[in-house]
Structure formats: structure tokens, C-alpha cells
């Protein structure tokens, strides 16, 4: 199945959740509401014809200075089906006023570390995550360094040797 047909098939199956579907740089891409992301993920993993059994990556994008963007953040899931041999990018819209989204770590265990990285760098909270704590920065670090409004030269608390 080609990328355009895959995107359209997903949009048809989930009309209340999918806002946009199409092809971006040769890959099927869908934009969804953040509500229902976990059920959506379970369906993509378990439905015949989709079978997205591999979560390749989870990342985020901050659109703070983009005037045409209604939602400040997107959480981006890179999925792959080993059986069907197709890839899908899912973008979940996350507004600045509520930076929470359901965790998909129970669907794809690899999401555990990816979601921790997104929380650490962007401050997006994954509800239901089994261990949401910093993974790249130290625990006392203040803020989220990949947010567009993070002050790069901000002084951070100093940590001494762990004796």
C-alpha cells in the first residue's frame, strides 16, 4: 500500500480523531487530537492491515513563534509495521495551556524512554507513564531546554560530587 492510501485509510477509520492525513516527504502522516491517543495507538498496533508493531521514535516540536499554529506543541510518533512494511508519522497536537497527553508506554514499551526524553526536553507530561523522571538532564535542572522560550544562558543549580 502506498503512503497516500495508508493515510487516507487511517483517516477513514478514525474520522473523529484524525484532523489531517496526507503524505509528507514520501511518508504517510496523520495529525490527530491528543484525546484518545492511547486507544488510537492500540488500534494501530493491533488492527489487521495496519499492525504498527514497532515504535521507532517519539519526539516533539515547539511552534512558539509560528503565528499560524494554534497549538504550541506536537508530539510526533514514528511507527513502523514489520509485517506490512510501511511507516507512519502520527502528530498529536498539544496546546500550551494543557501540556499533558496519555502515555503509550503500555502499548509500545520502547515509549518509556522516549516519553521521558520528551518530558525532560520539552516539559510535555505523559499521563500514566510508569516512571516519568529526567533522563538527560540532572534532577535539579530547572526548565526544559528544547522549549523555544528557554533562556540558553540561564544559571542552573550546581551539583557537587555524590559522596
53 HSE (CA, 13 A, CB side):
10
Which pLDDT score is estimated for 163?
61
SS3 45: helix
Cα 149–chain centre separation = 20
For residue 25, give the DSSP letter: T
Mean pLDDT per block of 10 residues along the chain (163 residues) reads: 93 96 96 96 95 97 88 97 96 96 98 98 97 92 93 80 65
Which pLDDT score is estimated for 125?
98
* Residues 53/83, Cβ–Cβ less than 8 Å: yes
SS3 55: strand
Q: Which of 23, 25, 40 is nearest to 75 (CA)?
A: 40
Which pLDDT score is estimated for 13?
95
Q: Report the length, in residues, of the chain.
A: 163
Which pLDDT score is estimated for 66?
87
Which pLDDT score is estimated for 162?
65
Which pLDDT score is estimated for 106?
97
Can you list the domains of the chain with their CATH numbers?
A: 3-127 (3.30.460.80)
**DSSP output for 66-121:** -TT-SSSEEEEEEEEETTTTEEEEEEEEE-TT--EEE--TTT-TTHHHHHHHHHHH
- pTM, rounded to two decimals: 0.93
Amino acid at each position: 500500500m502506498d503512503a497516500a492510501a495508508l493515510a487516507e485509510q487511517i483517516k477513514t477509520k478514525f474520522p473523529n480523531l484524525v484532523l489531517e492525513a496526507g503524505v509528507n516527504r514520501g511518508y504517510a502522516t496523520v495529525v490527530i487530537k491528543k484525546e484518545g491517543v492511547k486507544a488510537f495507538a492500540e488500534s494501530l498496533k493491533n488492527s489487521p492491515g495496519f499492525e504498527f508493531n514497532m515504535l521507532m521514535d517519539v519526539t516533539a516540536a515547539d511552534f512558539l513563534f509560528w503565528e499560524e499554529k494554534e497549538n504550541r506543541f506536537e508530539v510526533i510518533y514514528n511507527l513502523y509495521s514489520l509485517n506490512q512494511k510501511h511507516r507512519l508519522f502520527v502528530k498529536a497536537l498539544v496546546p500550551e495551556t494543557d501540556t499533558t497527553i496519555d502515555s503509550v508506554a503500555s502499548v509500545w514499551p520502547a515509549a518509556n524512554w522516549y516519553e521521558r526524553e520528551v518530558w525532560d526536553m520539552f516539559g510535555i507530561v505523559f499521563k500514566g507513564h510508569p516512571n516519568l523522571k529526567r533522563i538527560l538532564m540532572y534532577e535539579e535542572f530547572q526548565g526544559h531546554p528544547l522549549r523555544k522560550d528557554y533562556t540558553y544562558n540561564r544559571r542552573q543549580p550546581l551539583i557537587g560530587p555524590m559522596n
